[in-house]
Structure 1
Amino acid sequence: MAWGAEWVAVRPDAVRVWRDPEVRRRLSWYMRVMLREAPPKFVMARSYPAGLDHGEDPWSLEAGELWRIHEKASSEFRRMWIRVREGSIEYRDLEAEPGESLLAVKAVLAHRLASPCILCERRCMVERRSGRIGACRLDYNVYVHSAFLHLGEEAPLVPSGTIFYGGCNFSCVFCQNHDISQDNPRGGLKVDPVRLASIQDALARKGARNINHVGGDPTPSLHIIMESLLHVESHIPQLWNSNFYMSREAMELLVDVIDIWLPDFKYGNDKCAFRLSGVRNYVEVVRRNLKTAAMYGDVIIRHLVMPNHLECCTKPVLRMIREDLPVDKVLVNIMDQYTPMHRVARRPHLWPDIARRPTREEVREAREYATSLGILWEPVS
C-alpha cells in the first residue's frame, strides 16, 4: 500500500498498522473499499433498485409505504452485500433509474425522520422544517464548521476526510468541541446536499482514506448527509463517527451506506450518562446500535477512560463489548486523552470526580482489563 509521503512522514503507523494480520482481518471490508477493490456501500445502494413502479417518485409516497418498500429492498440488499463481503459473488451494478434506487428511498425517509424529528432517541418530535430548534440545537439546515484531512484519528483511518457538523443531541459537560456542538452550532457553513457532496469529493481528491462524518454529532444532519450521497462522485468509504444514540429508524437507513463505524461507548450505566451528558436510556440504545453496526460493517469502538470511572463505566463497558459483540471482529480504542474542558473546566467543584486527567495507573488498569477479556486494543489505542 502506498499513500502520500507528506502525511506518512507524520503518521508512519498509518502504514505500519496494515501489516498486522488482525487489523487486516477485522477491517477487511473497509480495506477493500479503501483500496478500490470493492465499491462503497452507498454506491451499491445508489444502483440498487428499490422496487418502485417505473417513474414513481418516492417523495410523493406516504411514509408507511416508503418504509414497506425500504424494508423489502434493504433486506435483499443486505443479503447481497454479505455475499459480496464474503467474496462469494462480485457486485454487479444494477443501474437503478435516478430517483428509484434504494439510496433515493433512504434520502426521502431521512427527511421524513428529521421533521418532526426522531433521528435520535431523544425523539423530540420538533418540527425542524418550520424553523424550530430541536434538542440537538439545530433547525432543519445542516452546518459544516470545518472539513479537512485529519491526521489525529486511529491509524487505519489516517488521513481521514473529516467533516465537522454543528449540533449534538448530547450535552456533555466535558465536551472538547463544545463551540460547535453546544455554544454556536448554527454558526458554520450552511450546506445543501450538492454542496456537501462537493466537499466529500474535494477531500477524496486530496487523498482522504474515508469520509468521516462527525461533529458535534452527525445524526441530526442525517437527512442532508443521506441525500448528498446521491451526488458524491468519489468511490470512498463512508465512516460514521458518533455517540451512537441514533433512533432505530435512523440506524435502519445507515446500515446500508456506512462502511466503517467509529462509535463512542462512554458510559457503563445510565446514571453517569444522564449526569454528565444529559441523556436517558443510554446503555440500552448504544448496545442495540452497536450490535447492528457489527453485523453490517467494520467497527472501531472508542472508549474514553475518565478519572474515577473505572468501576462504574470503563469495566462495565468493556464487559458489555465482550458479551454483546463478536470480540474477535472488532477493535477498541481505549483512549487516555480525557482532559477537563467546557463546563468542568469552568466549575470543577460541580464535577469533582472528572475534574482531573486520568492517571497512568487508571489507563493501565483499563487496558489490562480489556486484555483479560480478549479485547484487541493495541493497534488503535
Structure 2
Amino acid sequence: MNSAIKKELSTYFKIMLNQRASRVKVSSMIEAEESENNNALWREHECIRSEFKEIFNTISFDDIKEPDFSYLDLKRKIAEKIFENCYFCEMKCHINRTTEKGFCNVENPKIASEFMHMGEEAPIIPSHTIFFTGCNFECIYCQNFDISQFPEAGIEISEMHLAEIIDKRRKEGSRNVNFVGGDPTPNLYYILKTMELCNENIPVIWNSNFYMSEDAMKLLDGFVDLFLSDFKYGPEGCGEKLSKVPNYWNIVTKNHKMAKKSGDMIIRHLVLPDHVECCSKPILKWISENLGKKTVVNIMGQYRPVYKAYESNEITRYPNHQEMEEVVNYAKSLGLINLI
C-alpha cells in the first residue's frame, strides 16, 4: 500500500491493528458529569471535547476504566434529546422521532443488510458494513434507491443484538464497523447506543453524505475513527437539483473541515456526466486548498443512470473516458492521493 496513504490514515491503522484504543473506547473511559438539563449536558460535552484530542493521544489500554457516567454516555444522552426534536441533519425537521417521521421518513432504525464487505476501498477491507434503510437525500440517480428511498424495507435489530454481531465480525477479521445506508445520520442515536454495548476494540467508520448538523458533528467528534464521505456536488446548486438538498456546498464543506480535525478521512467523489466543471473540479480544488494536498480521495467512475435519472437530461448517460481521465488528472495535478 502507498506509504502516503498509510501516513494519512495512520491512526486508523493503529486502532485496526489493536495498537491503540478506538475513540469509542477512549470516550467510554472519560468520566463526565450527568445532568437532566440540556444546556448543562452540552457545556460538559464541549468542555471534554476541547480536551479529547490530548486525552486520546496519551491514553492507553492500561488506563481502561468504566466510570458511572462516561463521555460516551453523555453523547448518547444528548442524542436522545435531539431524537425527540430531530435535527441530526441539516433538514432540521425538529419533530419528535418517537412519534413522527421527518424528511428522511426514518422511524425505528431498520437494517437492510450487514456483511463483511470486500468491495470497499483497499485500506478498509474486509469491512463490516451495516446498511441502514432510509436517507435524508432524494438523489434522482441513487444506485441504492431500493433501500435509501424505502426506509420500511429493512428489519429491526436490537442494539444489544447488533453489538453482539459487531463483536463477532471483529473476531472473524473485520477491520472496522462501517455505518452506511441510505445514510447513517438519522440513526445516530441508535448507533451510539449500539457501540456502547460493544466489547471489542474496533474502528468506527462514518460512511455518509455529510449533510449532518453541527451538533451531530460534535457528537461524532470523539466517536468516529475514519470519516468516509461522499462529496457529491460543487457550489452551483446541483445538490438541490439532483438530490433535493438546500445549501449543500456550505454545509458539506463546513462538515469536512470539522471531520478533518477529529479523525482520519477518505473522500469519495462519484463523477457525474456533464458535471466535471461545476462539481468535480471545484470539489477537488476545495479539498486541496482546505484539507491538504495529501488528502486521500477515491474518484469513482461507477455512475450509471438508474432510478429517476431520466428526469435530468445531462445524467442519462455514463461518464465517458475523457471525463474520467480529466478528473483523475486534475486530482493528480493538485497533489491529491487518489486510491485508484
TM over 0.5, shorter chain: yes
1:128 Cα deviation from its structure 2 partner: 1.0
**Counterpart pick for 2:261 among 295, 318, 331:** 295
Q: Does 1:102 align with 2:86?
A: no
Which residue number corresponds to residue 40 of structure 2?
Answer: 65
Deviations 1:140-176 (A, max 9, x none): x111110000111001111110000111000000001
Summarize the Cα distance change of 1:152–1:257 in structure 2 as closer, same or farther, 3 Å threshold: same
Would you say 1:178 and 2:145 are equivalent positions?
yes
1:207 counterpart (173, 195, 212): 173
- Residue among 314, 317, 323 paired with 1:356: 317
> 1:63-142 residue pairs with structure 2 within 5 A?
63-81=38-56, 83-84=57-58, 90=60, 92-98=62-68, 100-130=69-99, 132-139=100-107, 141-142=108-109
In structure 1, what is the Cα distance between the partners aligned to 2:167 and 2:227?
A: 20
Instruction: Confirm or deny: 8 A CA contact 2:274 2:315 kept in the other structure.
Output: yes
Partner in structure 2 of residue 315 of structure 1: 281
Structure 1's 236 and 269: CA in aligned 2 closer, same or farther, altered over 3 A?
Answer: same
SS of the residue 1:171 aligns to = coil
**Counterpart residue number, 2:300:** 335
Q: CA deviation at 1:187?
A: 2.3
Query: Using the alignment, how far apart are the partners of 1:280 and 1:73 within structure 2?
Result: 32
TM-score normalised by length of structure 1: 0.87
Structure 2: runs of 5 or more not aligned: none
CA gap of 1:25–1:125, structure 2 versus 1, over 3 A, is: same
Whether 2:332 is the aligned partner of 1:371: answer: yes
Q: Is this contact kept in 1: 2:86–2:93, CA < 8 A?
A: yes
Q: Whole-Å Cα distance in 2 between the matches of residues 193 and 74 of structure 1?
A: 25
Q: 1:32 aligns with which of 3, 8, 14?
A: 14
Shift of 1:227: 1.2
CA shift, 1:241, in A, is 0.2
Give, in whole Å, the separation in 2 of the partners of 1:283 and 1:336: 22
SS of the residue corresponding to residue 111 of structure 1 reads: helix
Q: Match for residue 226 of structure 1? A: 192
Letter in 2 for 1:70: H
Shift, 1:77, TM fit: 1.8
Residues 203-250 of structure 1 deviation map (CA, whole Å, 9 limit, x = unaligned): 212211110000000000000101111100111110000000000000
**2:42 counterpart letter in structure 1:** W
> Could you report, residue by residue, the CA deviation over 1:6-27 in whole angstroms, capped at 9, with x for unpaired residues?
xxxxxxxxxxx2xx21111011
Q: Are 2:236 and 2:278, in contact at CA under 8 Å, matched by a contact in 1?
A: no
Partner Cα distance (1:278, 1:198) in 2: 37
Aligned pairs (5 A) from 1:222-301: 222-301=188-267
Kindly report structure 1 stretches of 4+ aligned residues shifted beyond 3 Å: 89-92
1:270 is displaced (CA, Å) by 4.7
Q: Does 1:197 align with 2:163?
A: yes
**What TM-score do you get using the length of structure 2 for normalisation?**
0.97
Considering only aligned residues, what root-mean-square deviation do their CA atoms show, in Å? 1.3
Aligned-pair distance for 1:342? 0.9
Aligned amino acid, residue 136 of structure 1? C
Distance 1:177 1:65 in 2: 40
| C-alpha separation in 2, matches of 1:121 and 1:93 | 37
Q: Taking every aligned residue pair, what percent have the same amino acid on both sides? A: 41
1:48, 1:77 within 8 Å by CA — same for their partners in 2?
A: no
Deviation of 1:92 after TM superposition, in Å, equals: 5.0
Contact 2:5–2:337 (8 Å) recurs in 1? no
Residue identity matched to 1:261: F
Residues 87-121 of structure 1: CA distance to partner in whole angstroms, max 9, x if unpaired?
xx6465251423x1000000111111122110000
SS of 1:126 mapped into structure 2: coil
Query: Are 2:107 and 1:145 equivalent residues in the alignment?
Result: no
Judging changes above 3 Å, is the alpha-carbon distance between structure 1 residues 49 and 92 closer, same or farther for their aligned structure 2 residues?
farther
Question: Amino acid of the residue matched to residue 102 of structure 1?
Answer: Y
Structure-1 separation of matches of 2:254 and 2:61:
29
Aligned to 1:8: none
Give CA-to-partner distance per residue, 1:323-362, whole Å, 9 cap, x none. Answer: 211222x200000110111111xxx2x2110001100110
Gaps of 5+ in 1: 1-16, 53-57
Amino acid at match of 2:78: L
Q: Indicate the residue corresponding to 1:10 in structure 2.
A: none
Contact 1:241 1:263 in 2 (8 A): yes
| Alignment partners' CA distance in 1, 2:248 and 2:236 | 6
